[in-house]
Structure 1
Amino acid sequence: MESRHIFILIILLIVLDALALNCSFGLVYGSGILNDHYSNRELTFLLLFLNLTWFIASFVNRTYNQLNVQSIDSLFKRMITTFLTQALLLIIGLAFIKHIQFFNSYTFCILLAQFIGTSTVRLIIYFSEQNYPKLNLHKKKIVIIGNHDLASVLEKYFLKNKLSFNLAGCFTDFNTEVIDERNSKKINRLKDTVKFAIENNLDEVYTTQFPEQCKDLQGILNLAEKNCVRVKYVTSFIQYKREEESFTNSSYIFNNFYDGIPILVNRREPLSAIGNRIVKRLFDIVFSLLVIVFLLSWFLPLMSLLIKLESRGDALFLQLRSGKKNKPFYCYKFRSMNMNKDSNNLQASRNDPRITRIGAFMRKTSIDELPQFFNVLFGHMSVVGPRPHMLKHTEEYSKLIDQYMVRHFLKPGITGWAQINGYRGETKKHEQMLGRVKHDIWYMENWSLFLDIKIVFKTVANAIKGEENAF
């Protein structure tokens, strides 16, 4: 799937190339040599024609395709072929304009300036890649586990596509003992090295072995998911075709091809596609803005006044919750309780003495959650997703429930599939949290915009009629 880093790079390339093209024209125009030969109308036509031919040439050469922007070499090669195609289109196009002599030394000056400009864009990307690795915030940091030939092929693919992937290591056998060169007496296992990598901001683990083939691998893969690291399985094309039916009937699902190598995952994730993430984010922005502008603009000061009149303290309650990839963020709520020292450790319960009178009404109708639309607008949360839990509860339940941390692959939501199916409020029993986790994972595997809209409508309907677990 196309990564966020590559998507940002593609958008950046399109914008910078357009700027380079138009600025090169502006530089030649600013020199004054064009004014003596062409009218403003003719120059406007020439500028539009330059942009059109570049757009057509880049489309033909797939200049901004995700496969062609993952290495510096391909960036330069596609730029040159696109430039030559554009020049050919200009020659053919301008040859038909007989009453205006466009094709001359001035056009070559514009093209030369454009070539220098688009080359400079790619040189900037190259030098930033070499000298400022911290700028590559959205690269996928990955490791490969496996002693198969496939591992070396995959390693070459990731090293070739450095603009998309940051290969942290390729471990041929994670049970092999390694002697530290600085201290020959100190012996580490690659298994511990992989564990260290997983616990330190890794994004994905690729393995040529499956848990069914290697018992020791299962612990590493469980550790990966507990640290919000995605696990992907590598198989040969021949093996994939031979076992395609068994893969289809098992928990493994085809995800992608890397250099002809099939990559499998153990669950569907529609939101791993950049297009789906854009759709969901646009829905979040539009919906949250509508709520903030038309509701919270007047409702927020009104509720703040009522809350302050009943009890001392701030009207808004900020609490650290677990976000996407388990990164903490401050979740906004209307304060529904009297100020107390247990607010960050103890869940609200039925007939909780800490809850104020207006707080009980807000919690019953879910009004206390409305400020979280600011979290949505700021990108901390989504309108629909797994509900964010307190940091203490995330730590506790991650040790008790398998796949608990998988729900953190998504942004947390104001409402979710689990909430509209009865799993909201206090979770006294282990089974209640287990049910919530299963519903959250189901939502992750079956996401669609229609499902989000359905959950929103169901949430509003439940709030109006009231819910038994809302307290």
Structure 2
Amino acid sequence: MGYRRGRYSKYLRPVLIVFDLFVINFLAIRGLKFNDEKLYFFSIDILNDKYILFGIYSSVLWIVSTFLINFYGVFRYTSVMKIISLLFKQFVVTTIFVFAFEGVFRSINIPAEVTFNYLILTFVIIGGIKLLSFYVLKSYRIYLKGNLRNIVIIGSNNNVKQLQKIFKSKKELGYNILGVFNNSNEDSTGSIQDSFSFLENSNSIDEVYCSIEELSEKQVNDYVKYANLNHCNIKFIPNSNKLFNKRLKTDYYEYLPVLSIQEVALNESLNKILKRGFDVVFSVLMIIFVLSWLTPILAILIKQESKGPVFYRHRRNGINYKEFICYKFRSLTTTKELRGTYVRPNDKRLTRVGKFLRKTNMDELPQFFNVLYGDMSVVGPRPHMLTYTDDYAKKIDKYSFIFRHNVKPGITGLAQVKGYRGEIMDDKDIINRVKYDIFYIENWSLLLDLKIIFQTFTNAIKGEDKAY
């Protein structure tokens, strides 16, 4: 989800990265001046191109390793012990790749003591600046009232009250509570329902903290939609200390767990570009080479058999619960969407053309236009009817259902090729459908997308029991 992570972090972190890379490479030269007669470390005079190679090597590995251990993931609520732990981990990784470089170029005869002196000096400077920037921001929040985060808190359970106390007593965290909304009227700005008008009339909210157990599914959806549209963080305050899986990221404000929607691999910048590029290319090919000649033929057949439009337009929930118009070839004699209207075997509303379209999944082909518009992906969790979204959410835990809506829906998906499609006969159907959706989100790759697409075509040719 495209949330803001802080007003200054987007500037501070790049500056720290550049500074750290400068220290690593600068000390590799200056550290050699400890002995004027012999040069024990990487010297321009002796190594020439090897120093340039070391600069490239160390910079690339530093960026990769810091990304993997989240070295620059320091937030206002991060503890000093966590920062020290990150410094230690990065020190170990850097030590390994520096000694590895020396091992490859055996002509470099450098005593281990000199290398350790370089590494220790490097991390004293890097660690010192990292801690200094951390404390400077804390002081800035306390004394100059800057770098504040405007927040709204929803709920009244014990953990909500504990979080309020932390925010009020720990001024260095920089959290400014604009409102507290609950239905118990305990030290509140208004009811939970009042919070929606408050949020709509405010454009300066940075974070919304929700006690999710006190909210209905619709309310949760509305808060998620608000956070998405207004580019603010939404976090969930659990009512217990149970363990949570990797679908939600758990941060600790002192000892109190606070949950936020985990950034999944599908939403990482590079992967979004790869998946979007694949979606666009695949959709364009399908539209040009299939829909361009198939649509006129199907339009004539559909119109001849029954009155009504060629395309069926229906509203669905997309990424972050955003509603969009989803397109299909019309397969029924009616276009009215009602609760509990799943198509059943030998359904009287089905047309003869419609039976064929649904049996072969060809009724879904117009959704390639949805993919081009950016509302859908070729592969992803299938979008549900709006009424079913509320019903299904009651049958599984809210955390899993929110996580499922953290990516774009797909024309086809892992749950569908595994047989969990169409009519929901019992609770097991929707629970298994969501389980496969979660597995897909957590284990996405382009190869998995290709495998699902191939399986979809195979199933269309063989036919499926629930394709009616």
Q: TM-score range by the shorter chain?
A: 0.5 to 0.7
**SS of the residue 1:321 aligns to:** strand
In the TM superposition, 1:33-182 aligns within 5 A as 143=152, 147=162, 151=167, 169=178, 177-178=186-187
Aligned to 1:417: 414
Deviations for 1:252-275, whole angstroms, at most 9, x for unmatched residues? 689599999999757754234333
1:6-17 equivalent positions in 2, closer than 5 A: none
3-state DSSP class of the match of 2:345? Answer: coil
Whole-angstrom distance in 2 between the partners of 1:250 and 1:395: 23
Distance 1:301 1:223, change over 3 A: closer
Q: 1:309 aligns with which of 298, 301, 304?
A: 304
8 Å contact from structure 1 (residues 224, 231) kept in 2: no
Paired position in structure 1 for 2:356:
361
1:155 and 1:464 map into 2 onto residues whose CA distance is: 64
8 Å contact from structure 1 (residues 143, 204) kept in 2 = yes
- Counterpart of 1:382 (choices 373, 377, 380) is 377
Q: 1:306 to 1:150 in 2, by over 3 A?
A: same
Structure 1: distance between partners of 2:463 and 2:384: 22
The residue that corresponds to 1:231 in the other structure is 235
Q: Is the 8 A contact 1:386 1:440 kept in 2?
A: yes
Alignment match, 1:134: none
Q: Deviation of residue 463 (structure 1)?
A: 1.2
**Could you tell me which amino acid in structure 2 is paired with residue 307 of structure 1?**
I
Partner of residue 245, structure 2: 251
Alignment match of 2:328 (pick from 327, 333, 341): 333
Distance in 1 between residues matched to 2:275 and 2:378, nearest whole Å? 9
> What's the offset of the Cα at 1:367?
0.3
- Corresponding residue for 1:373? 368
CA drift at 1:290: 1.6
Look up the match of 1:435: 432
| 1:284 equivalent in structure 2 | 279
Q: Secondary structure at the match of 1:303?
A: helix
Aligned mate of 1:461, from 430, 455, 458 = 458
3-state DSSP of counterpart to 2:315: strand
Contact 1:382 1:414 in 2 (8 A): yes
Q: Percent identity?
A: 41
Aligned counterpart in structure 1 of residue 388 of structure 2, from 390, 393, 400: 393
Which of 423, 426, 438 is the matching residue for 2:423? Answer: 426
Aligned to 1:164: none
Q: Distance in 1 between matches of 2:452 and 2:425?
A: 24
Structure 2 counterpart of 1:231, which letter?
Answer: K
Superposition map of 1:171-210 within 5 A = 177-178=186-187, 188=190, 205=208
Q: How many pairs were matched up?
A: 313
SS at match of 2:346: coil
Take 1:322 and 1:254, find their aligned partners in 2: how far apart are those partners? Answer: 21
Contact preservation (8 Å) 1:365, 1:464 = yes
The 1:432–1:294 alpha-carbon spacing in structure 2 relative to 1, beyond 3 Å, is same
Q: Cα offset for 1:203?
A: 9.3
Distance in 2 of aligned mates of 1:156 and 1:365? 61
Does the 8 A contact of 2:317 with 2:383 survive in 1? Answer: yes
Query: How far 1:405 sits from its partner (Å)?
Result: 3.6
CA distance in 2, matches of 1:448, 1:203: 32
Report the 3-state secondary structure (helix = DSSP H, G, I; strand = E; otherwise coil) of the residue aligned with 1:178.
coil
Rounded to whole Å, the distance in 1 between the matches of 2:178 and 2:342 is 42
SS at match of 2:347: coil
